[in-house]
Amino acid sequence: MNAPDPTLQTSSNPLLREWLAPYGLPPFEQARPEYFESAFEVAMAARCAELDLIAANPEPPTFANTVQALDQCGRLYNRLELLFSNLTVSETSPALQAVERTMAPRLAVHENAVYMHAGLFARIDSLYRQRRQLALEPQDLRLLERVHLDFVRAGAQLSGTARQRYSAVVQELAELCTAFSQNVLADENGFLLELKTESDLAGLPEFLREATRAAAAQRGLGDNRHAVTLSPSLTEPFLTFSARRDLRETLWRQRSLRGAHEGANDNRPVAARIMALRQEQAGLLGYASYADYELADRMAGNTAAVLDLLGKAWEPAKAKAQEDRVALTAMARSLGQPTPIAAWDWRYLAEKVREREFDLDDGALKPYFTLDNMMAAMFDCAGRLFGVRFVEQQGLALYHPDVRAWEVQRADGSLVGLFLGDNFARPAKRSGAWMSIFRSQSGHRGGTLPIVINNNNFAKASPTLLSFEDVKTLFHEFGHALHGLLSQVRHERLAGTSVLRDYVELPSQLFENWALEREVLQRHARHFQTGEPLPDALLDKLQAARRFNQAWTTLMYTGPALIDMALHSLPNGTAVDIAAFETQQCDLLGVPLDIGLRHHLSHFQHLFAGSGYAAGYYVYMWAEVLEADAFQAFSESGDAFDTSTAQRLLRHIYSAGNGQEPAQAFRDFRGRDPQVEPMLRKRGLLPD
């Protein structure tokens, strides 16, 4: 059933021919926008034919001929969809965006047809009802249960007009989420703050001047010009170092107002319509709110558990922020700056206070954190923990010159997978950082090797110097990558990061801990000019300051998480004015005006560019509870690279995929349930 269709191998469409590039990489050089629509039509038809064969099988349903067959079908469609979805976020164009707008609803209709396939679901449902009598192996039982739940949550049990309406809702949501994402990108690309005079550059350290020079060149302003875009890799350091309060305010306001302008890119009505449709979707499936629907398949289980966790951080962080505000206000007065302080002042003043209290200047740290050295550090940590090595491969045809590739090898030289790194911001790429795949690990036909990619948005320079927050982001996304690369499961549906949303951030956030390990920094943090290692004095200051400004960090994250939960907990049928709702929630929560929100609803892509983190932005803190407790296992061993602890971590977390309930997987690693106190201490919200 899964053999390549011989008619496809002679197709004039290169996306439909066999992909002969090394490692089975896509034919990037031939992946032109005009090929996708016709390729998808063929791939969708082929997938439907395979599903029809499974459903029409005259033999009684078995795990092998139904559930396993489903997991292994649709290979042409899967590889094409992964290529398309990666290009639309990493290297898009007006032509590709037009195809995305056309295909988003059609792909949604296709996915809906898969899960509404009555004959296929009847076979799956029959097996599910007798699952306890089938004597299945644990991973096979897990696959059956997950696949059945996938179908149920996608409306497979609906009938009549409800079934038809559900399909229409799914289709419209796909259109709107695509529009939301494209609107944010358009707003980001539509703004450029040119720094024309030396006064405009006041306070900017040399690494940031170099980054603004590169940004200006990238936007076509010519050499020796300077500009700031809305990329976080530029806005965050500019808000931290710029002595020009007026320019900080301009940049802060522009970034806050993405998607909230009247006109073609206004996301407020888009988000409101998405909310109306999500409420309808939840109602059709028997849930009182969209949050109830999403949390039914999360570790948290219900909104009360989420709010309890977020509340443990929110109020203590507000109290701690008041203490910090006193110090920042005093600093503002000493510098002759206006008070009370504003949101565009906090980063700048916090950096000044940090310099004074810890004698630590981020500008003095950055020369030791080159991108190449920090990548070597994360590869080294992965090798010491999990016995893998990364060997760069030159000459591969990839989708952009910035992308690099590494073979991931075991100690015996055998291949684990291929890792791609796409680390720089550019106009054709969405902002933020994320991990994705071009191919999943599975046991299909003897095993498929994963092709995993990390995307970051660092400001490109020569060399590229990172802040320590950038270093943590690099390690975070690499933790996701390892989750995909080290996966060792038989079934693709259970592979790698295909786990519950509030568990998927555990491997990524856990890996961040090694970025602060003393021996890692002593080995890899070296000055880009002299090659000298990070001085012990600077390292001591970095570690001493690790909890500095954590109240601000906690509030910036927790506020949007609480607003997300409130928004998606609205009862079905509740009309929403997005801007008014956000204002109301900020007032109810007491969001400090001089701190604000990391994400506003008009550009909150976690929530509205897709459904993955809707009613789920809390998952980072949920996973932080898990990772803080998990890393404590290494602390208790006395060695951050303890072999036996690392082997347990690999077996139960990084290679286990979705092979069992996540709570049990954590227990198997840690020997008990997680405790929240290590997370609160890590954030400085509880005493040691």
What are residue 391's phi and psi, to 5 degrees?
A: -120, 115
Element housing 247 (H / E):
helix 245-256
- How many CA atoms does the CB half-sphere of 412 hold within 13 Å? 1
| Active-site position among 477, 492, 505, 627 | 477
Of all helices (H) and strands (E), which one includes residue 385?
helix 371-386
Q: Which two tokens stand for residue 396?
A: 């591969």
Say if residues 565 and 310 touch (Cβ distance below 8 Å).
yes
Q: Decide if 377 contacts 523 (C-beta within 8 A).
A: yes
Please state, in angstroms and rounded to a whole number, the distance separating the CA atoms of residues 66 and 310: 42
Biggest alpha carbon–alpha carbon distance for the chain:
82
Say if CB 244 and CB 203 are below 8 A apart.
Answer: yes
Q: Which backbone phi and psi does 533 adopt, to 5 degrees?
A: -70, 160
Q: What angle do CA 627, 631, 633 make, to 5 degrees?
A: 125
Burial of 476 (0-12, 13-18, 19+ CB in 10 A): buried
Are 414 and 449 spatial neighbours (Cβ–Cβ below 8 Å)? no
Asked whether 627 and 675 are in contact (CB, 8 A), the reply is no
CB contact at 8 A, 510 and 631: yes
Q: SS3 letters for 259-307?
A: CCCCCCCCCHHHHHHHHHHHHHHHHHCCCCCHHHHHHCCCCCCCHHHHH
CA-based nearest residue to 403, from 390, 417, 392 = 392
**Token output for 405:** 């590739």
Quote the CA–CA distance of 170 and 361 in Å, as a whole number: 50
Q: Is 137 a catalytic residue?
A: no
Active site residues: 477
